[in-house]
Chain A
Amino acid sequence: MKLFKNIICCLPLLAVVFLASCSKDADPVPDEIDGLKFVASLKNETHMVNLYSASGKLTTGYNEIFFQVRKADSSLVVNNISPEWAPTMKTENMSHSSPASAIAPVPGTSFLFSGFIIFPMAGDWELPITYHIDGTAYTSTGKAAVQAAQKRILESFEGSDGQKYVVTMLDPVKPVIDRNDMTALLYRMKSTNDFEPVSGYTIKIDPRMPAMGHDSPNNTDLTFKDGIYKGVVNLTMKGSWQINLQVANEKGEVIKGEPVTEANPASSIYFEIEL
């Protein structure tokens, strides 16, 4: 009995010793990925690329993704290797790509990269990342599972101009009863594998509460500034909202989406916000 008690007392001490010894063996600068959660690994014969995100998950819509490249001896590769990525999803007879940003080293870190990918649909995505070490190009690849977002935050559509577009909402992440800053990104599909950001358009918003049919006043449509579409969405109460969209080009011509009227309770493209 007494022995047992002694062991119990010693447990926290043991744990501390154990933790201390662990951290000695770990990466010299593990804090670069503090607060991030592991998502998936990409591999080739010589390297392993670990992907991270804030939630540890990838979902449809906008995802900010971080990664580090590790050698076989598990040492980290310094982030001056100009990586590029080409997310693709293969179905039986089709191959899709997704809008993605360029990749940049995270300022203030030695090994960490970041960029974003807008996944238009859920499923297993191939995520080949190509980088250059000492003049040699390497590609690590692997699959990452993309889950469907809980709310509708992305729309893919064909505009009246015959072009294909993807629009996705970034903010508000934590919507409140108030004026909420709203941001979105709009991409045009140049070819099956190539999306380009669209600037100078207007994303008109009309928030509605479908359970009651009312809107909210004094919203600001999203216009393009500093690489992103920005506006204000007003949420007058808690509940489920639909943000009805109309996308208009530089000339102000609506290329997709319809105004909400009594006969037409929702636009053909909309986002969902829940609070």
Chain B
Amino acid sequence: MFRSILILAAVLFCRQAVYSQTDQHQHPHAASADTFTLQELREVVVISQRSASDRSGKPLASLDTYLEKSAAVNMIRRGSYAWEPYLNGMASERSVITIDGMRIYAACTDKMDPVTSYVETTNLASATVHNGPSGSTGGATVAGSLDLVRKKGSFGRGGFNSSIFGGFEANNRLKTGGTGVAYSGETFFANADVTYRHADNYRAGGGTEIRNSGFSKLNMSAIAGYKADEHRHLEASLIFDRASDVGYPALPMDVSLAQAYIASLEYIQHHLSPGVSEWKTKLYYNNVRHVMDDSRRPDVPIRMDMPGWSRTWGFYSQLKGSREKHDWKASLSGHHNHSLAEMTMYSDTPGWKDMYMLTWPGVATRYADLYAEDSYSFREKWKATTTAGLAVHNNLIDNITGLGSLRIFYPGLQKNRTRLLKRLSSALTRETERWLLSAAAGYGERAPGISEGYGYYLFNSFDRFDYIGNPEMRNEKTVTYGAVAAYRRSRLSAKLSGSVFQVYDYIIGKPDAGLSAMTIGAAGVKVYEQLRHARIMTGALEVSYQFGKNWLWTSKAGYRNGKGNGVGPLPLMQPFSYQEALSFTHKSFSADASIGGALKQTRFNPAFGESPLPAYAVLNLSASQLLEFGDRSLTLKAGAENLLDQNYTTFADWNRLPRMGRNIFMNVIWKF
């Protein structure tokens, strides 16, 4: 695990990893390394159920809660489940999210099923974030890329390792339970796990029940590896994830089923030649089905069903090597996706037929990508990293009804569109005993997402507009600059980072007064258009200080600011927010108190449904104990989140949905 992080870390300054599993009982901020590791360049949040030493948060928390701790990621929340990751303040279309390098396209037109919703923390090792176009093996991107790295065993040690875990949270009666088994042998390893979660409605601060906020989720995952000889092995992997009866209180509809099968087969070869250390080739397939319905909503103007389907197959083949002072990587990848979504509205007037349309008109995306990366170390303390990628992107509308729908808006529309997407980045890093300084610049392009390009009357419940895609848009382009300064002395560590995204042809919906809304009660229709220019700035500061032997204080702050030509502030931007934590550790006991909050949000955009937000602060307490019995162990963690039962809502809450009130939780993990 640790080694793989270091390999990945050799890439660029602007990367962050969020771990969901560590066997090290060491808090990263408490690490007593004398020199910097490139880990300092990342934001690290230990989140594992395997670890008792996590001082903030719950080991059995959802992936969403883990990702939210990364300075690069905001999680846009529409309910208790399946939050949408915003990288660097930008919506999920602007980033590439992969699971072990596999591309997956969500099947929901309303962003209810981001890729991150189809995995569980139980089967993840870490999440790696690249900011901007730098280092994205996954494909063309503007905001960055997020790869969810799965947990897997290794060959050799032999034997079984198992765990059983369970959790309960009082606020929404969330019950989490599951088990994991790992086997490791000389030529064979296997991991398998099952996690089930069930939650009822939650209560906001003050006790108000938030209706339609419960969910159920079952996740099963397995990986097996077979070693053919010393340098070659095969890995097969399968994930099945099924969420049902998921409530989205911030939206007008819920989800009766969100289901994904994610399968892959990978061939890995090490030490091909003195200069080539690794060759990986993977084939993968995934199938996502998403069914929205409103049967649990008592009064809706019209009943509707909105199912969606997405299928992807793809491959990548990646070489890694080093030569003198160069570390390099090259990757060829490709995928084929087909996405389709439809909407049926049930007429309650006799004689008027039920209504039907395609909200995603049957769009195939064919994508091929060539990527290369070189990292050159010179004069001991310096490193220069260059990455470049070139992709061919093609969209084909293959459904005749879908094509007809869009031709109403774009009479000359061709069903085929091919684009070239380029990306390039370079970074310079200087690393000394106490300081790590890095500066980077990058250029990236992306194609419009399926909703942006081809969406058909997709209702946005925040600004209350129907959105129409625009298949005639140009590529969106970004020029990105970033810098990091990190400092470490025996007890003190600090990291300041910032980045600027200059985005050209920025894709955003703008009202078209000539069009009338399809959705009953909608304010109008917005059509995706391109702003000549938009700018997004982000900044983050992290400081930690160790007092004596047992105490650690950590402080984090972050801020984002976005502005678009002619539209003013960009929506869903993080105001100045902070997290102060004090933890106490003694042997295998730890206790933690933290305050998280944000200042008043004064930059907001009413055109996107936003309103000003007051400042808030929330207090959390927790304690954990690890009990060891030979090679077995029991981890206990209990705590209270939002102890003072504040009623609050943040910039990331869709439709200003209030967050959870006081929540007492208990997590238990038994490893044997």
Which A residues fall within an 8 A CB radius of B?
A: 176-179, 209-218, 234-240, 274
Closest 5 CB pairs of A and B: A178-B404, A239-B355, A237-B357, A238-B356, A234-B408
Contact between chains at A217 and B409 (CB < 8 Å): yes
A174 to chain B, nearest CB (A): 12
Contact between chains at A211 and B347 (CB < 8 Å): yes
B305 to chain A, nearest CB (A): 14
Contact between chains at B408 and A217 (CB < 8 Å): yes
Report the Cα distance A240→B358, complex, angstroms: 16
Report the Cα distance A215→B457, complex, angstroms: 12
Report the Cα distance A176→B515, complex, angstroms: 20
Q: Which of B358, B404, B456 has the most CB of A within 10 A?
A: B404
Which residues of the partner chain B approach A274 to less than 8 Å between Cβ atoms? Answer: 353
Q: Is B518 in contact with chain A by the CB < 8 A criterion?
A: yes
Report the Cα distance A274→B356, complex, angstroms: 12
Report the Cα distance A235→B515, complex, angstroms: 14
A208 to chain B, nearest CB (A): 9
- In the complex formed, the residue of A with least CB distance to B525 is A217
Cross-interface CB contact of B520 among A212, A217, A218, A239, cutoff 8 Å: A212
Which residues of the partner chain B approach A212 to less than 8 Å between Cβ atoms? Answer: 302, 345, 355, 518, 520
- The answer to whether A240 and B408 touch (CB under 8 A), given A177-B357, A212-B302, A214-B517, is no
Contact between chains at A218 and B404 (CB < 8 Å): no
Report the Cα distance A236→B352, complex, angstroms: 16
Which residues of the partner chain B approach A217 to less than 8 Å between Cβ atoms? Answer: 408-409, 514-516
Q: Is B354 in contact with chain A by the CB < 8 A criterion?
A: yes
Contact between chains at B349 and A211 (CB < 8 Å): yes
Which residues of the partner chain A approach B352 to less than 8 Å between Cβ atoms? Answer: 210-211, 239-240
- The answer to whether A237 and B518 touch (CB under 8 A), given A210-B352, A211-B302, is yes
Contact between chains at A178 and B349 (CB < 8 Å): no
Report the Cα distance A274→B353, complex, angstroms: 8
B73 to chain A, nearest CB (A): 37
A85 to chain B, nearest CB (A): 34
B299 to chain A, nearest CB (A): 16
Report the Cα distance A178→B403, complex, angstroms: 8
Contact between chains at A179 and B404 (CB < 8 Å): yes
Report the Cα distance A177→B357, complex, angstroms: 8
Contact between chains at B353 and A239 (CB < 8 Å): yes
- The answer to whether A218 and B408 touch (CB under 8 A), given A211-B349, A213-B520, A236-B518, is yes
Report the Cα distance A274→B352, complex, angstroms: 9
Q: Is B601 in contact with chain A by the CB < 8 A criterion?
A: no
Contact between chains at B514 and A240 (CB < 8 Å): no
- In the complex formed, the residue of A with least CB distance to B344 is A238
Cross-interface CB contact of A218 among B345, B347, B356, B411, cutoff 8 Å: B411
- In the complex formed, the residue of B with least CB distance to A216 is B408
Interface of A is mostly: loop
Contact between chains at A239 and B404 (CB < 8 Å): no
Cross-interface CB contact of B457 among A211, A213, A235, A236, cutoff 8 Å: A236
Contact between chains at B404 and A177 (CB < 8 Å): yes
Contact between chains at A179 and B347 (CB < 8 Å): no
Which residues of the partner chain A approach B579 to less than 8 Å between Cβ atoms? Answer: none
B412 to chain A, nearest CB (A): 11
Q: Is B585 in contact with chain A by the CB < 8 A criterion?
A: no
Contact between chains at B355 and A211 (CB < 8 Å): yes
Q: Is B489 in contact with chain A by the CB < 8 A criterion?
A: no
A272 to chain B, nearest CB (A): 10
B33 to chain A, nearest CB (A): 62
- In the complex formed, the residue of A with least CB distance to B343 is A237
Contact between chains at B355 and A178 (CB < 8 Å): no
CB-CB contacts below 8 Å: B383-427 with A: 401, 403-405, 407-409, 411
Q: Which of A177, A179, A216 has the most CB of B within 10 A?
A: A177
Report the Cα distance A179→B405, complex, angstroms: 8
Can you list 12 residue pairs at the A/B interface with Cβ under 8 Å?
A177-B401, A178-B403, A178-B405, A179-B407, A212-B302, A212-B345, A212-B520, A214-B516, A217-B514, A217-B515, A218-B408, A240-B347
Which residues of the partner chain B approach A214 to less than 8 Å between Cβ atoms? Answer: 516-518
Contact between chains at B347 and A239 (CB < 8 Å): yes
Q: Is B351 in contact with chain A by the CB < 8 A criterion?
A: yes
Report the Cα distance A209→B516, complex, angstroms: 11
Report the Cα distance A178→B351, complex, angstroms: 23
- In the complex formed, the residue of B with least CB distance to A274 is B353
Cβ proximity bits B3-36 to A, threshold 8 Å, 1 near / 0 not: 0000000000000000000000000000000000
Report the Cα distance A238→B514, complex, angstroms: 22
- In the complex formed, the residue of A with least CB distance to B456 is A236
Additional 9 contacts, C-beta under 8 A, given A177-B358, A212-B520: A176-B404, A177-B404, A211-B302, A211-B355, A236-B408, A238-B356, A239-B345, A239-B352, A240-B353
A270 to chain B, nearest CB (A): 14
- In the complex formed, the residue of A with least CB distance to B457 is A236
B472 to chain A, nearest CB (A): 15
Which residues of the partner chain A approach B515 to less than 8 Å between Cβ atoms? Answer: 217
Contact between chains at B516 and A215 (CB < 8 Å): yes
Which residues of the partner chain B approach A238 to less than 8 Å between Cβ atoms? Answer: 353-357
Which residues of the partner chain A approach B405 to less than 8 Å between Cβ atoms? Answer: 177-178, 236-237
Report the Cα distance A121→B614, complex, angstroms: 67
Report the Cα distance A212→B519, complex, angstroms: 7
Which residues of the partner chain A approach B404 to less than 8 Å between Cβ atoms? Answer: 176-179
Q: Which of B349, B405, B514 has the most CB of A within 10 A?
A: B405
B551 to chain A, nearest CB (A): 62
A99 to chain B, nearest CB (A): 28
Report the Cα distance A217→B456, complex, angstroms: 13
Q: Which of B347, B355, B408 has the most CB of A within 10 A?
A: B408
Which residues of the partner chain B approach A178 to less than 8 Å between Cβ atoms? Answer: 401, 403-405, 407-408
B402 to chain A, nearest CB (A): 8
- In the complex formed, the residue of B with least CB distance to A234 is B408
A205 to chain B, nearest CB (A): 14
